[in-house]
Amino acid sequence: MSKNYDVIVIGAGPAGYVAAIRAAQLGLKTICIEKWRNADGDGVNGGTCLNVGCIPSKSLLDSSYKFYEAKSQLDVHGISTGEISIDLKAMVNRKNKIISQLTTGIAGLFKANGVESLFGTAKLLAGRKVECVMHNGEKKVLTADNIIIATGSKPIDIPVAKINGSSIVDSSGALEITKTPKKLGIIGSGVIGLELGSVWNRLGSKVVLIEAMDNFLSIIDQQIALETKKIFTKQGMDIRLSSRVTATKVRGKEVTVTYKNSAGEETSETFDKLIVCVGRMPYTQGLLADDSGVDLDERGSIFVNDQCETTAGGVWAVGDVVRGPMLAHKGSEEGVMVAERIAGQKTQINYDIIPNVIYTHPEVAAVGKTEEQLKQAGEDYDVGVFPFSASGRAMAANDTDGIVKMIADTKTGRILGCHIVGPSAADLVQQIAIAMEFGSNAEDIAMTVFAHPTLSETVHEAALAVNGHAIHMPNRKRKK
């Protein structure tokens, strides 16, 4: 059988559609297969990120924050308003319109770059063949020199809280809620749980986050985690750590959750709605034929090397379906890397410099190593911390919660990490990601002229503080 394509991409989320576009730009005959259907049953591109993930959740986060700001934050600026209300259906419809615009935009990008698009369910066979069962039931078998798997991830289900689509929902179902719950329970206080909790907390729900872990946000720098927990608690979110859910019971439109603390003491609480956000798992269901030659690792991810090559020749995998953080931007860059390597280029990704963001308000953002990781590795480092409460720009905006923390190597001054909770943290941390990519040290940032007044000056002051030279706060005594 002769080959049909140079490249077949399975999955049209941020990793897949970017890989397909870049491959086509490089002159490779490319097709992208996507199984996602919208509410009307039509095939759409964009994967989890555009349809039920990054984009719709940010739409709701921004809408809910504007409501909260209008209701609770404008008086300090001398602005008076009448009674404030929100139309949740309109808010959800706006979210859906944004989704439609972006997913339609991908179709336009495919056409502009010469990428063929096929909607259906793909299965990888041996010999670089892909069987596709299209939405109309028709089957096709395609072949290619190279296949890129970008099937993404899905929410993890837990037996004690079965999703029923009404009183118990997962992160996708949570995006379709059109009535504010009086009391909302969330299992899990990770990124998704905190973002969804923020939305409904702002809209008037009593939000309780039930977290099995002993530490809050255990994967981030713990100084930032503690500051973040303090801020969210002040906002009204009830975060209960060391609480493992043991049972749920649905009664009418309510759901009762039973959980145990670390001492084994049992508590039950009733909610109008329960959201299950305990993480995500790689999506490989029905994807691989037994003789495909592609191996999975112990986590159920597709096993790949540093260049995203699988154990089957000519088959690559990128994004959430492989090792590493499940981040859309990480997957997109892997998609570009693989497309360029297929075309003969030697592109690499620096996995040590991938920013991570929680889009609450204030935002939480990080790049590089945490202080805990450096302690465990026995590395010598210095730390500079600067609070937003000392920023003139933050004061002017009435947005002073949070801190910037910069960590640098003691001997070389090279920046090892930057961790922020505060306004515009996602954009501020990117400055340091760029600096780290070029091997900058804290002094390079300290010597750079920052515009005044800006939030970016907090990053500048944190860099100055690494060496005890901060101007707008007292410096900590340095070890001799």
Which residue among 135, 361, 419, 452 is the active-site one? 452
Handedness of CA 127, 128, 129, 133 (dihedral sign): positive
The tens digit of pLDDT for each residue in 164-205 reads: 999 999 999 999 999 999 999 999 999 999 999 999 999 999
pLDDT number for residue 479? 54
* 35, pLDDT greater than 70: yes
Same domain as 142, residue 10: yes
Please count the other Cβ atoms lying within 10 Å of the Cβ belonging to residue 227.
Answer: 23
| % residues pLDDT > 70 (the chain) | 99
- Residue 72 within a domain: yes
- Would residue 203 count as lying in a domain? yes
Domain boundary among 278, 296, 326: 278
Dist. CA 307–CA 285, nearest whole Å: 24
Domain co-membership, 30 together with 145: yes
- Residues 300 and 394 occupy one common structural domain: no
pLDDT digits (tens, 9 = 90+) for 302-333: 999 999 999 999 999 999 999 999 999 999 99
With respect to residue 472, please indicate whether it lies within any of the assigned structural domains. no
Q: Does residue 172 share a domain with residue 141? A: no
232, 256, 278: which is the final residue of a domain?
278
125 lies in the same domain as 47: yes
Contact 351, 373 (CB under 8 A): no
- Statement to judge: residues 196 and 138 lie in one domain: no
User: Quick check: is 161 in a domain?
Assistant: no
Which residues are CB-contacts of 452 (< 8 A; sequence separation ≥ 6)?
Answer: 392
pLDDT of residue 355: 98
Give domain status of residue 179, yes or no: yes
| Confidence band, pLDDT 50/70/90 cuts, at residue 39 | confident
DSSP 179: S
- 135 shares a domain with 96: yes
Q: Are 177 and 96 members of one domain?
A: no
The pLDDT confidence band at residue 3, using thresholds 50, 70 and 90, is confident
Is the same domain home to 119 and 79? yes
Range of the domain at 183: 168-278
Catalytic site includes residue 419? no
Provide the domain count of the chain.
3
Domain co-membership, 128 together with 18:
yes
pLDDT digits (tens, 9 = 90+) for 100-151: 999 999 999 999 999 999 999 999 999 999 999 998 899 999 999 999 999 9
